Each structure stands twice: as C-alpha cells, then as structure tokens.
C-alpha cells in the first residue's frame, strides 16, 4: 500500500513544486517506487520532471473526469530513468483548469482522485501530489486522497499567518471528508541562515509546531532554480549541489518518519 502525500500551501512560489519533484527523485534514488501527480494546471511539476506538458495525450484531467485510468495516463521520463531516479508521472497542463468547472455537477467530485489512485496503490511505496496555490476543488481532491500533507514554507514574517488557514482547512477535511489526513510536517525551504529574521521565524515554527517541523532544512540554492529549465529535478540535474543533497536527506527523513506512522 502506497503512502500518499500532498505537497500543499495555498501561497504561490513557496517551493511546492520544487519539493515535489525533488522529493520524488530523492525517494526514487533511495529505492522507493514513486508516482508523482501534478494537480496544478501550470504543469510545472510535469515539465520539471522532463515531460512536455503540451505533448501529453492523457493527463490527470482525464483521470478526474473518469475518461482514463491512472495506468493509462501515467508516463515516464527518459532523463530520470537514465539518472536512476525514475518515477512515474501523472501529468497536468492547462486543460486541468477547466476540470474545476466541469466537475461542479458531478457526484463525489472531491473523491475522484482518491478512487482513481486506489487502482494503482499496490504498485508504489509513495504517491506525491503537487497541489496548486489555492484551496480549490483540485486541492480538495488531493487532500481527500492523502494520508498526510507536507507543507513547504519560507521562514518569512507572514508565513505563520498563512499557515493558520491551511491548518484549519486540513482540520475541516479531516473532520468531514478524510479521517486519515494528518499534517506530516513543515519543511523549511529556501532557507538562508545569514538572515536573522529567517532564524527567528524558524525558531518560532519549532516552538509552535514542535516535532512537526522536519529536521532537514532546504537551503536557498540556485541549482534547484536552474534545474527546471533543464527538465529535471535538482537531485538529477546537479546531485552534488547543496540543494540536491538536502532533498535526498529529506527523502531519507520521510522514509524514517513514515516507518513510525
Ligand atoms: P510553488 O510550486 O509553491 O509555486 P516553486 O517550487 O515553483 O513554488 O518555487 C518558486 C520559485 O522558487 C521557482 O522559481 C523555483 O525554482 C525557486 N526555488 C524553489 N526552491 C528553491 C530553493 N531552495 N533555492 C532556490 N530557488 C528555489
Ligand atoms: Mg507549483
């Protein structure tokens, strides 16, 4: 049975996609079988895994509308397989933006992804879902499918405030739709230890959320930002970079944390 995680934060540009693709590659590197689901119509996780979103024949959109199964729609990326960091990809593109509206009248619309993933559950150790920057029907589908949420966050002044909204949403989903859902942890990303404010917010995070804060810290590292233009996660693009090493350490921390769940 796969453990299913959403990478979520309703803020944009906080490192969700970077975390999803690098965690997927890091987990694959340490021998885990991984499916990455792109739930963002921007398709950045798809492109960042080396799959051209414009050339997708089937995508997560078809899966949500039940015109394709996950087994039919998933694809692989040559570049990842060559680097021995291969994971399966259920891609997304602009078409997905329409799903929100098209699903409005459908029954059990928030459980569509969950139902679809159940069919491939046995084939993976981890399923990672990259959520869009909103608390929309798409994100809800992600949250209803998952055992847990990984929240990447920058240690900035308003970070804690935004977190309250997300935590409340997760509590509501837990209470009404998905009893399995838990916050697995908060991941500090784009961290720069030279900035005093970041250190202060990091300390506050640990005070409020205790061991929900992952031990691994992802540094700000330009190689992680350059990797998408090469069509690969940083872990594959430049494995020796500080950012890539941090994500592989994070993958190991996830494996350990899950073993205790
Ligand atoms: P989100 O998916 O939350 O919108 P992204 O993962 O796309 O966020 O990240 C936003 C931007 O920040 C991207 O340009 C990405 O390359 C860059 N970025 C993410 N993490 C890091 C990091 N640790 N160091 C440097 N740049 C990063
Ligand atoms: Mg993103």
Q: Buried b vs exposed e over 207-244: b needs ≥16 C-beta within 10 Å? A: eebeeebbebbbbbbebbeebbeebbbbbbbbbebbbb
What percent helix, strand, coil does the chain show, rounded to 5? 50, 15, 35
Break the chain into its structural domains and give their ranges: 3-260
Q: Cα-Cα-Cα-Cα dihedral of 94, 95, 101, 107, to 10°?
A: -130
Contact present, 223 and 230 (Cβ < 8 Å): no
End-to-end CA distance of the chain: 13
CA of 114 to the centre of ligand 2 (A): 21
pLDDT in tens, 103-115: 988 888 999 999 9
Q: In CATH, which of 3.30.1330.60, 2.40.50.100, 3.40.50.300, 3.30.2290.10 is domain 3-260? A: 3.40.50.300
Q: Does pTM top 0.95 for this prediction?
A: yes
pLDDT tens sequence across 219-246? 999 999 999 999 999 999 999 999 999 9
Select from 24, 152, 9 the least CA-distant residue to 90. Answer: 24
Ligand 1 pocket residues where CB is under 6 Å: 12-18, 44, 133, 189-190, 218, 220-221, 224-225, 228, 243
Q: Which ligand 1 atom lies nearest to the CA of residue 220?
A: 24
Tell whether the model's pLDDT for residue 100 goes beyond 90.
no
């Amino acid at each position: 049975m796969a453990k299913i995680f959403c990478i979520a934060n309703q803020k944009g540009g906080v490192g969700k996609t970077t975390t999803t693709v690098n965690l997927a590659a890091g987990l694959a590197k340490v021998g885990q079988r991984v499916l990455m689901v792109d739930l963002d119509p921007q398709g950045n996780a798809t492109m960042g895994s080396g799959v051209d979103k414009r050339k997708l024949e089937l995508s997560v959109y078809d899966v949500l509308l039940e015109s394709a199964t996950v087994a039919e729609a998933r694809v692989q990326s040559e570049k990842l397989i060559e680097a021995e960091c291969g994971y399966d990809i259920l891609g997304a593109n602009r078409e997905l933006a329409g799903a929100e509206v098209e699903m409005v009248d459908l029954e059990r619309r928030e459980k569509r992804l969950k139902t679809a993933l159940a069919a491939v559950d046995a084939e993976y150790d981890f399923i990672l879902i990259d959520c869009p920057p909103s608390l929309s029907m798409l994100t809800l589908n992600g949250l209803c499918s998952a055992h847990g949420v990984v929240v990447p966050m920058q240690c900035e002044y308003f970070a804690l405030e935004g977190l309250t909204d997300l935590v409340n949403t997760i509590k509501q989903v837990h209470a009404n739709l998905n009893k399995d859902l838990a916050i697995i942890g908060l991941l500090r990303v784009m961290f720069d230890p030279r900035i005093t404010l970041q250190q202060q917010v990091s300390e506050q995070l640990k005070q409020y959320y205790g061991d929900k804060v992952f031990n691994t810290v992802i540094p700000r590292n330009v190689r992680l930002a350059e990797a998408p233009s090469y069509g690969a996660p940083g872990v594959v693009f430049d494995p020796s970079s500080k950012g890539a090493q941090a994500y592989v350490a994070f993958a190991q921390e996830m494996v350990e944390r899950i073993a205790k769940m």
